A and B are shown apart, each in its own frame.
Chain A
Amino acid sequence: MASDSEFIKVVGVEKSFGDNMVLRGTNLSITRGETLVIIGRSGCGKSVLLKHIIGLLKPDRGEVFVNGTEVTALEHRGLFELRQKFGMLFQSAALFDSLTVWENVGLGLIEHSDLSTEEIKSRASEKLALVGMRGVEDVKPAELSGGMKKRVGLARAIAMDPEIILYDEPTTGLDPIMADVINDLIRNLKKTLSITSVVVTHDMTSAYKIGDRIAMLYEGQIIYEGTPEDVKCCGHPVIQQFVEGRAEGPIPAL
């Protein structure tokens, strides 16, 4: 067991794709039960960082710890056991298009539990109700809109009652009202289920609303961490340019 303030710990992670070095010694600690928002420009490696936490990617150098377990040292089976503690919402929802909505939500239970089909379906409906998606159980994902897919993806992420949820751009591509619905859902999940959340986004409205703390990833490193209030009034030029969304400043826009 690790101390609560280092529930998830990323230590000096480096990752390159070909000649492109995306993470350059990233360090990050996440406290149990908090919502940490990682902000940064598109393509700066936020999603890559998220995928390292759940072991979808292996770092070239550095370690990742989750509750004291070194994720980066885990072998095949160990990794799959650890992932049962996780839920992840993908940017494009990544629903399985060959399965119906309830099968998508219940797939983890179908594979990892001995519950009957009816039992799993009713649990899936429960989770779907939590995200406001009643009555679509037997529909295929292709028939859903973007916002509905995200909500089904969220239901799938919480279906196994995870301790940690990773959100990859939960509000990107949604209209502002739907984005706010998703923000509320994320806040409610944290409040009711006391889940540790890591959210990757470049939507500042969302970051301020759901984040307990905000960290900025820039040039492969975490250059700033602080509460939403800190971020709003911090003097760091890079943060200010990003938060205010200006093309001029220390971050090259093109």
Chain B
Amino acid sequence: MNGFEYVGKYFTVTLEDVGRVFMLLVDTFKTFPRALRNSYLIVEQMMIIGVGSLPLVVVTSIFTGAVAAVQAAYQFQNYIPMRYLGTVIGKSVVIELGPVLTALVVGGRVGAAIAAELGTMKVTEQVDALETLAIDPLEYLVAPRFIAAIIMLPVITLFADFLAIMGGFVVAWAGMDVSSHTFFSGLKLFFHASDVYNGLIKSFFFGGIIATMGCYHGLNTEGGAEGVGIATMKAVVSSCLLILITDYILAAVLFRAVFMG
């Protein structure tokens, strides 16, 4: 195979994948009215995706805020007054760090778990068994995970935003002699509620990406244990890449008003 053929084949396969992901999404949306009646499945997934991810998110976000404080203080040196520390931490956490880092760690955890579970079900014929019981795997497996992820990701992101800011505050207060009044008045200075909403809109999409990639790669698993491993890896890699790409696209759309003046 020469270089052109290789590139051409790679693009065809990728395009085919994109098409199949959209088909999966469309077919899953069609099952929503029926899937919503099985609310216990959605609640179960909300527990796994949301509540189960909390310990990881707590640690990630506290340290994210703490690092943001240290790095911001380092860059401020003696040029920028420390009362802007809260401003910088608040903005960067709410707009970017909170939604994206939460999505990346949850994507690793939940995306992998979904792909491994569905992949194992696929290779052990459990997905076929569902179909023989006249149960649609899209309705029974995919839809609850998708709905739970798009609901829970914004919720845990909000939680992560709060913890990251508190993490930053503790470092500033305990390690840099920044008083709580200075920190929080700085935080309020340029604080826009719309920044928080925009961050949450992003995490809504990130939740959809994580569930879709986990389910898509899980349901297309082939072979045995090796196949499950490959599916899990693909789910994590593709959701991380898509989160970062989507982050850029959404930033360009959501925050357009600001940088266009």
Query: For the complex, is A90 an interface residue (Cβ under 8 Å from B)?
Result: yes
Once the chains bind, are A94 and B134 in contact (CB under 8 Å)? no
Once the chains bind, are B126 and A86 in contact (CB under 8 Å)? no
In the assembled complex, the Cα of A91 lies from the Cα of B135 at a distance in Å of 20
Query: For the complex, is B136 an interface residue (Cβ under 8 Å from A)?
Result: yes
Contact partners of A111 in chain B: CB under 8 A: 38, 133-135, 140
Which of A80, A87, A91, A112 has the most chain B CB atoms closer than 10 A to its own CB?
A80
Main secondary structure of the interface of B (DSSP, over half): helix
In the assembled complex, the Cα of A156 lies from the Cα of B134 at a distance in Å of 12
Once the chains bind, are A94 and B128 in contact (CB under 8 Å)? yes
In the assembled complex, the Cα of A91 lies from the Cα of B27 at a distance in Å of 29
Interface set, chain A 75-116, CB cutoff 8 A to B: 76, 80-81, 83-84, 86-88, 90-92, 94-98, 107-108, 111-112
Among A56, A87, A107, contact of B131 (Cβ-Cβ < 8 Å): A56
Once the chains bind, are B125 and A86 in contact (CB under 8 Å)? no
- Known interface pairs A83-B134, A108-B135, A111-B140. Does A97 touch B129 (Cβ–Cβ under 8 Å)? no
Once the chains bind, are A88 and B140 in contact (CB under 8 Å)? no
Query: For the complex, is B78 an interface residue (Cβ under 8 Å from A)?
Result: no
A82 to B: closest C-beta gap in Å:
8
Once the chains bind, are B125 and A87 in contact (CB under 8 Å)? no
In the assembled complex, the Cα of A156 lies from the Cα of B130 at a distance in Å of 11
Interface residues on B, range: 10 to 19
Once the chains bind, are A90 and B131 in contact (CB under 8 Å)? no
Once the chains bind, are A80 and B134 in contact (CB under 8 Å)? yes
Once the chains bind, are A107 and B135 in contact (CB under 8 Å)? yes
Interface size on A, residues (CB 8 A): 27
The residue in chain A whose Cβ has the minimal distance to the Cβ of B37 is A111
In the assembled complex, the Cα of A92 lies from the Cα of B140 at a distance in Å of 22
Query: For the complex, is A160 an interface residue (Cβ under 8 Å from B)?
Result: yes
Once the chains bind, are B125 and A94 in contact (CB under 8 Å)? yes
- Known interface pairs A56-B131, A83-B131. Does A96 touch B126 (Cβ–Cβ under 8 Å)? yes
In the assembled complex, the Cα of A51 lies from the Cα of B125 at a distance in Å of 11
Once the chains bind, are B132 and A160 in contact (CB under 8 Å)? no
11 intermolecular pairs with C-beta atoms under 8 Å apart? A83-B134, A87-B132, A88-B129, A90-B128, A94-B125, A94-B126, A95-B129, A107-B133, A108-B135, A111-B135, A160-B134
B residues touching A (Cβ–Cβ < 8 Å)?
27, 38, 117, 121, 124-126, 128-136, 140
19 other A-B residue contacts (CB within 8 Å) besides A76-B136, A90-B125, A95-B126: A51-B128, A54-B132, A80-B131, A83-B132, A88-B132, A92-B124, A92-B125, A94-B124, A94-B128, A96-B126, A96-B129, A98-B117, A108-B134, A111-B38, A111-B133, A111-B134, A156-B133, A160-B134, A166-B132
